[in-house]
A and B are shown apart, each in its own frame.
Chain A
Amino acid sequence: MHDEPMGQTPRQALETIESDQIDLYLRWAETQVPWWYWPSFATIVATWVASYEFGLWAGTGGALFAAAALGYIAGVLMDRSGVTFPRVRAMPRPLLAPYVAVFVVHLTVVAAITTTVIVMDDPPFLAIGLAIGPALALVGSASTRWYRAVAERLRAQSAR
């Protein structure tokens, strides 16, 4: 069964796998969340929200378009990066905060849109869409930069 030398000490083996794992988490952020992801995501969501301005049917069409477009983008990004979703269990603790922040951004947007639709009688969907687009692109890109910065720092530490 042992078809290759076992020349590693436990410490070397653990350090190697830790370094490999950090490298994968970093490359995942580089390849699966490219610069165009957040602007595309923001445009799709903004279009969906703005489509409600033209009635419920237009909004439903917008929602279907958004679901299809986001599903397509997710497929492209997975094929491009060769990674599905990173597992949180093996993720180094410092990376968890920015990783979770990315999902918080997504959930906050959905919650804000839903609340607006429920609470307001005649919400200005077009204006909300125009406002939410750039905000989402900026906050999303910032969370990705944060994640990358932490991953870079961990990679530098593990290389020492």
Chain B
Amino acid sequence: MDELDPVIHAPKRLRIMALLATADDLTFARIQDQLRLGTPDLSKQIKTLHDAGYLRTKRSGRGPGSQTWVGMTREGARAYRSHVRALRALLDDADSTTESR
């Protein structure tokens, strides 16, 4: 039985994980641009996910052109898929309850 993951359940973190499920790695700037989050906010959310073991980060290049690349760990990918399955199950339950009324 899949359960909602408390770390991923926060909307911003769920959106970050969803984006990272679409590509091997994304830059910090790409995630920021896509989700329209401020730098401190995004850093905080990424740190929370990183501390939970769900994300890995690495820097490429040096100086002003350097980029931070963020990717999902295997554990993160598993947790994300389980979380999405739990959300779908909740949605199915809600739909079947509505239909049975």
Task: Mark A residues whose CB is within 8 Å of B.
Answer: 1-8, 10-11, 13-14, 16-17, 20-21, 23-25, 27-28, 79, 81-87, 89-91
Contacts and interface: CB of A to CB of B under 8 A. Distances in A.
Contacts of B10: 1-4, 6
B26 A83 contact: yes
A24 B19 CA distance: 7
Contacts, number: 90
Given A20-B19, A91-B22, A82 B29 contact: yes
B30 interface: yes
A27 B87 CA distance: 26
Interface string B3-39: 0001101111011001101111111011101110000
What range describes how many residues of B lie at the interface? 20 to 34
B13 to A, nearest CB: 9
B23 A85 contact: yes
Interface in B80-101: 84, 87-88, 90-91, 94
B42 to A, nearest CB: 13
B91 A90 contact: no
B21 A87 contact: yes
B34 A27 contact: yes
A6 B9 contact: yes
B67 interface: yes
Given A10-B90, A10-B94, A21-B18, A83 B30 contact: yes
A11 B91 contact: yes
7 contacts: A2-B6, A4-B10, A6-B9, A13-B87, A20-B34, A82-B30, A83-B27
Given A85-B23, A86-B23, A14 B6 contact: no
B20 to A, nearest CB: 9
Contacts of B67: 79, 82
